[in-house]
Amino acid sequence: MTKLTRRDFLRMSSVLGLSTALAPTLTACDAAGEGAFEGKVLIIGAGAAGMSAGYLLAQRGIDFEILEANSIYGGRFRVNKTFTDFPIPLGAEWLHVEPEMLDEIINDDSVEHNIELVGYTQDDVTGYYDDREYLTQPSGDSDLKFIGSSWFDFYETYVIPTIQEKIRTNIEIVEIDYSEGQVWLTDKNGGEYSAEKVIITIPLKILQDGDVEFTPALPQGKQDALDEAVVWSGFKAFFEFSEKFFPSALAFADSDTADGQRLLYDASHGQRSDRHILGVFSVGAQAEAYQAMSDEALKNSVLAELDEVFDGIASQTYVKHMTQNWNNEPYARAAYLEDNAPVWISREMAKSIEDKLYFAGASYTSFIDWSSVHTAARSAREAVDELVGQTGSLSFTAFLSILSAR
Ligand SMILES: Cc1cc2nc3c(=O)[nH]c(=O)nc-3n(C[C@H](O)[C@H](O)[C@H](O)COP(=O)(O)OP(=O)(O)OC[C@H]3O[C@@H](n4cnc5c(N)ncnc54)[C@H](O)[C@@H]3O)c2cc1C
């Protein structure tokens, strides 16, 4: 088993002068080839991976249906459109790779999207507060934010119209039986569904908690991966202030640790809005610290921390706040696989079983990058390619050999 972790990889990449931009991109190939699969596919879950998988199957003319436990599609990229005058992403917020990723997801040269993205420039400031000292530097952030829209809006505009009638909501799958020719799924009300092949996009934490029974049991390698995976908790909050006193990003001594991360940031960055919204992003132990607080204690804690850095201005200009606790979402129950997980976990989780069960999702991938919307979309491509017998994506081994050859 390799001991390489994503952090190791990212460090190695920067030493080599590479970036995640090098990660293999999706190859555009879609028409079902000769001998292509012609049966029915069931997809469990309508998050980024499930919607992408359905969309790619639709492009190939393959019959499919998506069974979603929640009353709405989207999974971990839900949006609040009432807190302020632009969409607030409660889960996924940034695009962590090049903007061409959106075209890769659309995967259709005849479609031109009008999604606006904004990055960070040297004029944007990152602040760091530690030991009563506040330091600033120009932002080195390469992430992109959606202007006036979100990951959810992107999928709703460009993916959902193709697959909407194939999504069935309020269907929570609790049993997956692949012991015979067909795969049989059972939902929590006893409803049954069957297909030749099934793509599972249920979040890691739900499988880890044993909510879904597999017959026969999952192969030992996959069970080991599930047992060892550390899935970080997730919590976000958004604060409105009547003045803008905070930088693009504000980090503290505990902002990036082995157990989790947290960051305060300008959620209004690049928006056509005069509202001043500060986001609080946290995963892992840092999220759990916030989750343990009452709403009032959370508010006081964030304001006190900001008051200390900015001489009391936070309390004076506070307007309102809202929170999103991902551990309380019954069909997510966490944020995502920890950043520094060993690579073998997501690779093992991505492996198909008996040419019948395929896995797609942010943490089910052979790439050395996981836990983002783009990785969920790429994993869907991997699963669909494998399901229809095409190999459109570079394998992990091939990717490593590219790296070592440079
Ligand atoms: C706080 C937070 C911040 C984030 N920030 C970013 C970011 O800035 N950029 C980024 O790229 N990514 C970010 N992410 C990660 C990103 O949101 C996820 O990686 C991605 O959305 C996961 O997509 P998915 O399809 O794998 O899983 P999900 O979106 O979780 O989809 C799984 C679907 O399966 C459904 N489901 C679950 N159980 C069952 C069942 N038993 N039966 C049927 N359906 C079921 C769920 O309801 C859900 O719709 C963030 C996540 C969090 C929590």
Beta bridge partners of 266: 278
Q: Is 48 in the pocket of ligand 1 (CB under 6 A)?
A: yes
233-257: average pLDDT? 97
Beta bridge partners of 321: 239
What's the pLDDT at 35?
55
Question: How long is the chain?
Answer: 406
pLDDT tens digits for 193-219?
A: 999 999 999 999 999 999 999 999 999
Nearest residue (CA) to ligand 1, atom 4: 92
Bigger pLDDT: 173 vs 34: 173
Pocket test of ligand 1: the residue of 72, 146, 233, 373 to mutate, having most ligand atoms within 8 Å of its CB, is: 373
Question: Domains plus CATH for the chain?
Answer: 1-73+169-229+341-406 (3.50.50.60)
Nearest residue (CA) to ligand 1, atom 48: 75
Alpha carbon distances (Å) from 394 to 9, 60, 382, 386:
17, 20, 9, 12
- Residues 6 or more apart whose Cβ sits within 8 Å of residue 49: 201, 360, 361, 362, 364, 376, 377, 379, 380, 383
Residue 404 neighbours by CB distance under 10 Å: 8
Residue 376 confidence (pLDDT) above 80? yes
Å from CA of 374 to ligand 1 middle? 11
Say whether the peptide bond before residue 216 is cis (omega within 30 degrees of 0): yes
Nearest Cα to Cα of residue 289 among 327, 315, 317: 327
- Ligand 1: atom nearest CA of 361 is 26
Determine the Cα–Cα distance for residues 367 and 382; give it in Å rounded to an integer.
10
φ/ψ of residue 393, rounded to 5: -105, 155
Q: Is 373 in the pocket of ligand 1 (CB under 6 A)?
A: yes
Q: Is 279 in the pocket of ligand 1 (CB under 6 A)?
A: no
Question: How far is CA 228 from its chain centroid?
Answer: 20
* 3-state class (DSSP) for residue 253: coil
Å from CA of 35 to ligand 1 middle? 33
Q: Is 202 in the pocket of ligand 1 (CB under 6 A)?
A: yes
Q: Is 334 in the pocket of ligand 1 (CB under 6 A)?
A: no
Determine the Cα–Cα distance for residues 255 and 284; give it in Å rounded to an integer.
11
Residue 15 confidence (pLDDT) above 60? no
What's the pLDDT at 28?
39
Q: Is 203 in the pocket of ligand 1 (CB under 6 A)?
A: yes
pLDDT tens digits for 148-163?
A: 999 999 999 999 999 9
56-85: average pLDDT? 97
Residue 4 confidence (pLDDT) above 60? no
Q: Is 94 in the pocket of ligand 1 (CB under 6 A)?
A: yes
Nearest residue (CA) to ligand 1, atom 14: 92
What's the pLDDT at 391?
62
Å from CA of 174 to ligand 1 middle? 18
Question: How far is CA 214 from its chain centroid?
Answer: 25
- Ligand 1: atom nearest CA of 334 is 53
Long-range residue pairs from 23-27, CB within 8 A, at least 24 positions apart, any chain: 23/97, 23/367, 23/368, 23/369, 23/399, 24/367, 24/393, 24/394, 24/398, 24/399, 25/100, 25/104, 26/104, 26/107, 26/377, 26/378, 26/381, 26/392, 26/393, 27/392, 27/393
Q: Which residue has the tokens 């909510």?
A: 211
Å from CA of 335 to ligand 1 middle? 8
